[in-house]
Amino acid sequence: MSAVPLPIQSADQQRASLQQGRAFPIVIVGHVDHGKSTLVGRLLHDTDSLPTGKLEQLKAVSEKRGLEFEWSFLLDALQVERDQGITVDTTQIWFTTQQRRYVIIDAPGHKEFLKNMVTGAAQADAAILVVDAAQGLAEQTRRHAYLLHLLGIRQVAVAVNKIDLIGNDAARFRAVAESVRNYLVGIGIEPQAIVPLSAREGDNIASRSVNTSWYQGPTLIGALDAFTPRALPVEQPLRLPVQDLYRYGDKRIVVGRIESGRLKAGDRIRFAPLGREATVATLENWSGPDRPLPALTEARAGDSVAFTLDEDVFVERGALGSSPEHRPIDANRFTVRLFWLDKQPLRKGDRLTMKVGTAEREAQVESIVESLDVETLDAATAQQIERNGVARVVLRVRPPMAIDLYETLPRTGRGVLIRGPQIVAGLVIESAATRVSTDITAVDSSVTVQERIEMNGHRGGVIWMTGLSGAGKSTIAMATQRLLFSRGRHVAVLDGDNLRHGLNRDLGFTDTDRLENLRRLAEVAKLMAVNGSLVLVSAISPLQKYRDMAREIVGEDFREIYVSADIALCEARDPKGLYRKARTGEIKNFTGISAPYEAPQNADLVLDTAKPLEFAVTTLTEYIESIFGELPWHPDI
């Protein structure tokens, strides 16, 4: 890749900047008919946050049309402006109290817009839950409340609206307040205030109402001003999901957003799940050739960063950076709480994509532990989860991914499930099965490397042969193995296709599975090389990042050999009939046809298979001899 790293702008970054004092993000949720829009309009008016003349304009329009003015018209007018592109912001409404500035994150209340509600609420630090004084808690209100809990929003004020329509009845208010409080406490939310109010009349919004003299609590504005901004988790362990990598000149730049902790030059950073470590060389700060910026000394939670490393360890999008001392959990089996959004029910055995941060994995539903009734909060066994259902589910992902438990580090302990192009569930991770036991200790071999060299006459190594299908990798590898074996050498061939019949039979051909396939291949090759074998690996390994990973796993005794043959020659050979199937669509993601192949730019050796086989075998054998030790030359092939 070659691209210029640009400052990363995102909703999350905007939210982070808001937390630094510009505005306090809140979400207003509740049943669609309980007065949410009226409350927003009233908040704008009672805090003098409306544009000059806007109220008079709307009243005049209402009178002209013979309509009684309603405060919800203000929200409707703003919506019209947003739809016409008049206002800059498309999802946020601003108002200011004497204490601070607020931004209301748009969160549609209708049942069909729950996804939008989740998206909006995820950016908020606190919430107002609107409840109709006459109707009390509605099913949709319970769902919204549960989603607030699922998203980690714990600061909630309850607006018991339309108190005027029940005659400002104190007894009715107390009954509603008690039922709301009991429900919220049941799901883990302690409401900070439950306010009786009338959004239409302005009772208890910004000032106390004489109509509810029996109420001694704060006004709604007072309750909001009592909220505390959610602190950015700068003092927590470093978590940095890698968003991408860029090559800029001779620099290899890693970019991502710090979810927690801090990062500065000189810090040691570990990338999970592969566990590669390096030292941060520089924090980059660049806005263009004509606008150089001073070097950064430190980046903190909420910052999007670009940085270089002191060595080229294998890193890719989806890796999770941490300090070596405070690592995330490396696991492939999770128990999660989720909110199901798809029309198609969730069933045991379903295959989906799990996304946490920038990491995505294929996930399978191992079991549905229980479903939860959002009305009663009763748990029950279930065979499937219907739309808008809440459940506890066990997921198994492949390959393992780095995560945290939600209770420990919420930002890297929650994610979504994806089916096709659609997000179908939000989830938080309750527990995880650790993939690597900390009780395992490597056992030293009873035979040293030097002893093997003296016995074999050569040291072990990995000769990694890459090229298109049909390029001749396996043919050259087998012929070379025969020659070396006849000389009494410890030599073996690891063929990518052969491993897929056994060790890697559980893997497909997605990018994730291909990466895991080659990781296992490299690990096996390394073990064999450490034990003195010359290992000829025959694997397409189509992308340079895959081969870089293999080189890093094996270490200094890794050599990359490019078996060169163009696509036309390989397709003409087509020894397995795969190109024909790929052309007719029988095989998807076929390298060279429907999936990319990146030829090595700096291979240790290039073998041109347009030439006779003997030439390639001779060239490769001479190369192995020169690298891994004195191997007596034999002219017969």
Q: Name the CA dihedral angle for 428, 430, 435, 438, rounded to a multiple of 10 degrees.
A: 130
74 within 8 A of 54, measured Cβ to Cβ: yes
Higher pLDDT, residue 13 or 146: 146
449 has a pLDDT exceeding 70: yes
The pLDDT confidence band at residue 71, using thresholds 50, 70 and 90, is: confident
What phi and psi values does residue 408 have, to the nearest 5 degrees? -90, -55
Contacts of 290 (CB under 8 A, 6+ apart): none
Distance (Å, whole) CA 453 – CA 224: 74
Instruction: Note the Cα 160 to chain centre separation in Å.
Output: 37
- Kindly report, residue by residue over 114-148, the tens digit of the pLDDT: 666 666 676 788 999 999 999 998 888 888 888 88
E-only strand ranges, 471-597? 491-495, 534-538, 558-564
Please state whether the predicted TM-score (pTM) of the whole model is above 0.85.
no
**Burial 309-318, CB ≥16 within 10 A → b, else e:** beeebbbbbb
3-class SS of residue 28: strand
* pLDDT > 90: percent of the chain: 36
**Tokens 């069909």 correspond to what residue?**
112
- Kindly report, residue by residue over 522-542, the tens digit of the pLDDT: 999 999 999 999 999 999 999
> Residue 541 catalytic?
yes
* 468 labeled binding residue: yes
Spatial CA neighbour of 38 closest among 3, 82, 73: 73
* 488 labeled binding residue: no
* 469 labeled binding residue: yes
181 within 8 A of 217, measured Cβ to Cβ: no
339 has a pLDDT exceeding 90: no
* 470 labeled binding residue: yes
Number of Cβ within a 10 Å radius of residue 424: 22
Give the burial class of 106: count Cβ atoms within 10 A of its Cβ; 0-12 exposed, 13-18 middle, 19 or more buried.
buried
- Kindly report, residue by residue over 186-195, the tens digit of the pLDDT: 888 999 999 9
Omega of the bond prior to 575 within 30 degrees of 0, cis? Answer: no
Rank 64-78, 204-218, 492-506 by mean pLDDT and report only the highest: 204-218
Distance (Å, whole) CA 211 – CA 234: 46
What mean pLDDT comes out for the span 391-397? 90
The pLDDT assigned to 511 comes to 72
Domains of the chain: residue spans and CATH:
11-226 (3.40.50.300), 239-322 (2.40.30.10), 330-433 (2.40.30.10), 449-628 (3.40.50.300)
The pLDDT confidence band at residue 275, using thresholds 50, 70 and 90, is: confident
- Residue of 323, 371, 538, 541 with catalytic role: 541
The pLDDT assigned to 117 comes to 67
584 has a pLDDT exceeding 90: no
* 471 labeled binding residue: yes
* 53 labeled binding residue: no
636 has a pLDDT exceeding 60: no
Distance (Å, whole) CA 117 – CA 427: 15
Cα three-residue angle 489-492-496, rounded to 5 degrees: 160
* 526 labeled binding residue: no
- Kindly state the tokens that stand for 139: 């099913």
212 has a pLDDT exceeding 90: yes
The pLDDT assigned to 290 comes to 64
* 322 labeled binding residue: no
Is the backbone of residue 148 left (phi > 0), alpha (psi -120 to 50) or beta?
alpha
Spatial CA neighbour of 196 closest among 131, 101, 240, 290: 131
- What is the DSSP code (8-state) at residue 18? I
- What is the DSSP code (8-state) at residue 412? G
